[in-house]
Structure 1
Amino acid sequence: MAKLTLKQQRFADEYIISGNATEAAIKAGYSKKTARSIGQENLTKPDIEKYIDEQMQQLESEKIASKEEVLSYLTSVMRGEQTEQTLRGTGEGAQSIIDIDVGAKDRIKAAELLGKRHRLWTDKVEAEVQGTVVFVNESEIPD
C-alpha cells in the first residue's frame, strides 16, 4: 500500500469519525471551496479507501468480544473472581456504592452457559451413519 500523505490520513480519520466527506476534508485542511469535490475524490482513491476499511475493521474488532474473551469472563464469574456494584444505605437516606461478590445465581448461570458450550448436558446423541439408510412405510410391510 502506498503511503498516505498527512492530509489524506487526517481526512480518512475525520471521515471515520463523522461519515461526512466534506466535513472531513475541511477538518483535514482542504479549502472550504473545494472540500466537497476533494472529499468525494479522496473516497475513490484505493489507498485511502483501504486505510478507512482497515481502521473500521480494527474498531469493530475492539468493540466485539471474541469467543475466548466471553469464555474467559464466564469462567471468572463462575469461579467468583468478579464483583458487582450495589447501593448500601449509610443512614438518614444516604447511600454509597460498594463492590460485592457476584451472587450464586449468576455463578450458576455462568456455569450453565459454559456447560452448554462444552456440551456437558446434552440429551442429543451424535451418531455417524455410513451406508444407505432406507425408510419404509409401516403400512407397506407385509404381515
Structure 2
Amino acid sequence: MSGITKKLTLKQQRFVDEYIISGNATQAAIKAGYSKKTANRIATENLSKPVIKTAIDKRNAEIQSEKTMDMQEVMELLASIARGETTEETVTNKGDVIETATRNSDKLKALELIGKRFGAWTDKKEISGNLDIEIGMGDYDDED
C-alpha cells in the first residue's frame, strides 16, 4: 500500500477490543456488531487480515508493557525504598490500618540489591584443605 497504513473500521476496532478481552473470536465478532449467523466466518476472516492481526499484536504488546516493570522502574522503586520515601500499611491490634515508615530491614535489603546491581561488592568464599597431586611420567623410558 505504498507506505500508507490502512485504518481499521469501527467494527474491526471493536472486534480487536473484544478479542483482547475474551480471546474468543466468534464472541468478539458478535459483540462488535457482526451478525450471529456469520460471526464464525467473519471472526476467522478478521484474524487472517494483516491489519487486524497487527492491531491485536500491538495492543497485546502495550498491555504486556504496562504490566511489566523495566529495569529503570525497578531501580527507581528500590532507591525510593532505600531513601525511606515509601510507607507501608500496618494493621493495629484494634484493627485500624495506619501508614508506617519503611522498616530499616527493607531499606537495607533495597540498598543491598542496588549494590549488587552495580557490583559494589562480591561475596568471597575461603576454601581450605589439602590437595595431594601426583605427577607421573607414565611409561616413558629414560633411554637417550
Unaligned runs of 5+ in 2: 125-132, 138-144
| TM-score normalized with structure 1 length | 0.83
- One-letter code aligned to 2:41: S
Percent sequence identity over aligned pairs: 54
Q: In structure 2, how many angstroms separate the alpha carbons of the residues matched to 1:21 and 1:108? A: 50
Q: In structure 1, how many angstroms separate the alpha carbons of the residues matched to 2:15 and 2:134? A: 72
Q: In structure 2, how many angstroms separate the alpha carbons of the residues matched to 1:54 and 1:114? A: 33
Structure 1, residues 27-46: CA drift from partner, whole Å, max 9, x if none?
Answer: 00000000011001100000
- One-letter code aligned to 2:61: Q
Cα offset, 1:122, TM superposition = 1.8
Structure 1, residues 56-94: CA drift from partner, whole Å, max 9, x if none?
Answer: 0000000000100000000000000000000123xxxx4
Bigger strand fraction? 1
Unaligned runs of 5+ in 1: 125-136
Cα offset, 1:95, TM superposition = 1.6
- How many matched pairs? 125
- The one of 48, 52, 60 equivalent to 2:56 is 52
- The one of 64, 78, 83 equivalent to 1:79 is 83
- One-letter code aligned to 1:102: T
| TM-score normalized with structure 2 length | 0.82
Name 2:118's counterpart in structure 1: 118
After superposition, the CA RMSD in angstroms is: 1.6
Q: In structure 1, how many angstroms separate the alpha carbons of the residues matched to 2:123 and 2:92? A: 44
Q: In structure 1, how many angstroms separate the alpha carbons of the residues matched to 2:28 and 2:97? A: 42
Name 2:135's counterpart in structure 1: 139
